[in-house]
Amino acid sequence: GLDAARLVDHLHDLGIQVVMLTGDGLATASAIAARVGIGTRTARGELLRRGATPPHQTHPVRGQVGVRVAPPLRPWERDTWFDVYAEVLPEDKMRLIDQLQRESIVVGMTGDGVNDAPALKKAEVGIAVASATDVAKAASSLVLTDPGLEDIVAGVEVSRRIHQRMLTYTLNKIIKTLQVGLFLGLGLVVFGRFVTTPTLV
């Protein structure tokens, strides 16, 4: 209820699009998704099996010569995207993940059952809940130790901080290397010789 809605809002604030895949009927899935704020665009899992309007299809954009065409829409902004897939089979989850990955979208998947294991393994980040089966936990890259999904937010925030620090360190090392090369090159031009030795460098 309220906790789930708050979690979905927090994930949206972090720029993460939440999609619900469930074996429940369409009416039940739609009601739950609307209640927690996931979205109202719903489809049945058979859509993925038919491949009729997969999420990776492009949205038609019309333009004229001399007119700037709008940039491509992100998947969840397209008419072919759905917030909820109801009556899905385990293989439907694999199909959707595959379609998203072909869009170069990083996919995180949560699950708890044996049937979820292949999808958890295929996703870039497979997240098993605390009550998950041993098979699901083994297939996941992240296992939550506390009940619920609230720890996902902390995991995202921490991983982004680590990624930013790694990026900053890498850029710093590249810049320092370029500075040394520039220093040696200028010294060679001005003095006609290297101003330092490889050992000092």
Cα separation, 133 vs 112, in Å, equals 6
Res 195: pLDDT: 65
Kindly report, residue by residue over 87-114, the tens digit of the pLDDT: 999 899 999 999 889 888 899 999 999 9
Whole-prediction pTM: 0.69
Kindly report, residue by residue over 115-139, the tens digit of the pLDDT: 999 999 999 999 999 999 999 999 9
Q: Which region, left, alpha or beta, applies to residue 96 given φ > 0 means left and ψ of -120 to 50 means alpha? A: alpha
Instruction: Answer with the residue of higher pLDDT: 61 or 29.
Output: 29
Q: Give the mean model confidence (pLDDT) for residues 61-86.
A: 57
Residue 71 has pLDDT above 70, yes or no: no
Tokens representing 27 are 């009416």
DSSP-derived secondary structure for the chain: -HHHHHHHHHHHHTTPPP-EE-SS-HHHHHHHHHHHTS-S-EEETHHHHHTSS-TTSPPP----TTSPPPPPPPGGGSTT--SEEES--HHHHHHHHHHHHHTT---EEEE-SGGGHHHHHHSSEEEE-TT--HHHHHH-SEE--SSSSTHHHHHHHHHHHHHHHHHHHHHHHHHHHHHHHHHHHHHHHHHSS-SS-TTT-
Q: What is the dihedral of CA 148, 103, 99, 123, to 10 degrees?
A: -40
Cα separation, 5 vs 7, in Å, equals 5
Res 77: pLDDT: 56
The Cβ of residue 128 has, within 10 Å, a number of other Cβ atoms equal to 26
Residue (of 13, 36, 17) closest to 74 by Cα position: 17
Cα separation, 38 vs 83, in Å, equals 6
Res 196: pLDDT: 67
pLDDT bracket for residue 68 (50, 70, 90): very low
Residue 163 has pLDDT above 60, yes or no: yes
Kindly report, residue by residue over 33-50, the tens digit of the pLDDT: 999 999 889 898 888 888
Residue 54 has pLDDT above 90, yes or no: no
pLDDT bracket for residue 162 (50, 70, 90): very high
Instruction: Answer with the residue of higher pLDDT: 61 or 200.
Output: 200
Residue 190 has pLDDT above 80, yes or no: no
Res 33: pLDDT: 92
Res 134: pLDDT: 94
Res 57: pLDDT: 40
Q: Label residues 2-22 b or e (16+ Cβ within 10 Å = b).
A: eebeebbeebeeeeebbbbbb
